Copies of this chain bind each other. A is one copy, B any other.
Amino acid sequence: MKDKDVAQILRDKGLRVTPQRIAIYECLAGTTAHPTAETVYQQLHSKYPSMSLNTVYKTLLVLEAAGLIQRFTTADSVFRYDANPAEHVHAVCLKCGRVSDVPGDFGEELERLRAKAVGNSDYNIRYSTLLVYGLCPECKR
């Protein structure tokens, strides 16, 4: 997704386009690491020394509300952010906390699970999150 698109999506939602919003989105779009707000802040601090952590948090909320990114939480209870807002499977390392995408198309499996959950639950189901926990390549020695 290019800057122009992000800017346009923001404008279409009545939101302003600011350098901070573009920078934070690009930071997320340019990594596969599912960083925390703190990590995003540190990444951008050299290029944008005046940007505050609070702005990072608020901007991430704005981007999420606009449907541009997703936010999720793992067992360590720190929010992770992902420039890919589509449902997909995440692997979480039990030792170092790293979060990675699980490659492959799980659309069919997730859809089947969803259908079964919809049938069995009295909830009006909107979406689902699947996390698999284990040891990352580095940590499994």
Contact = CB atoms under 8 A, between A and B. Distances in A.
A133 B126 contact: yes
Interface string A4-43: 0000000000000000000000000000000000000000
Contact of A117 (B77, B89, B135): B89
Interface of A: 71-75, 77, 79, 89, 91, 93-94, 100, 102-104, 106, 109, 112-114, 116-117, 119-137, 140
A114 B123 CA distance: 25
A73 to B, nearest CB: 5
A123 B129 contact: no
Given A72-B75, A73-B75, A91 B131 contact: no
B132 A131 contact: no
Contacts of A89: 113, 117
Nearest to A71: B75
Contact of A123 (B112, B121, B137): B137
29 contacts: A73-B74, A89-B117, A91-B121, A91-B123, A91-B125, A102-B120, A103-B120, A103-B121, A104-B116, A109-B109, A109-B112, A109-B113, A109-B116, A113-B130, A114-B132, A117-B132, A121-B134, A122-B136, A122-B137, A123-B134, A123-B136, A124-B135, A125-B132, A125-B133, A126-B134, A127-B134, A128-B131, A129-B130, A129-B133
